[in-house]
Amino acid sequence: MAAEVQKQPATLSKVDSAIDDAPASPSESKPRHRRTSSTVSGVFRIEDLEQDGADLKIAPETQKLNWKINSSPSTVEDKDMLKKLLTTPPIKKIDLHFPLGLEVTARNLKGVTIKDALDVIYKQYKKKADDELDNPYLAGFEWDREECYTKFIVHQKKSGDAPSGGGKKKKAKSEEA
Residues 28-58: tens digit of each pLDDT:
555 565 555 556 788 999 999 999 999 999 9
Residue 21 lies in a domain: no
116-145, pLDDT tens digit by residue? Answer: 999 999 999 999 888 888 889 999 999 998
Residue 23 lies in a domain: no
Residue 40 lies in a domain: no
Number of domains in the chain: 1
Residue 1 lies in a domain: no
Q: What are phi and psi of 29, to 5 degrees?
A: -80, -15
* Closest by CA position to 86, among listed 46, 47, 29: 46
